Amino acid sequence: MTELLFYTTSGCHLCEHAETLLQQVAGQTPITIQAIDIGNDEQLVARYGIKIPVLVAAASGRELCWPFSVNDIENLLTARGDGVPTNSS
């Protein structure tokens, strides 16, 4: 099962929209989502403050910054760490 880190914060309407997209993907693909509130960590605020919501594939470290779509999330999930999509057939 693929793990995604979801960098977010409270009161972020874009993060709420991203969460809806994640739920759509999770309905089709077995993933785990770890939500991380950047508001509690100065280093995360410095890194992601103007980029959130941000998704990171835990295994590869690949990042997907807003704006993104369901298709973008699916591509993040199917890409290997070297950026080459895996063969799903």
* Number of alpha carbons in the 13 Å side-chain half-sphere of residue 61: 1
Q: Where are the domains of the chain?
A: 2-78
Neighbours of 39 (CB within 10 A): 15
Instruction: Give yes or no for residue 82 having a pLDDT over 50.
Output: no
Helices (H) and strands (E) in the chain, counts: 3, 4
For residues 32-39, give the mean pLDDT. Answer: 97
For residues 25-38, give the mean pLDDT. Answer: 96
Task: Give yes or no for a contact between 67 and 19, defined as CB atoms under 8 angstroms apart.
Answer: no
> Cα–Cα distance between 60 and 35 in angstroms, integer?
17
Instruction: Give yes or no for residue 84 having a pLDDT over 50.
Output: no
Which CATH architecture fits 2-78? 3-Layer(aba) Sandwich (3.40)
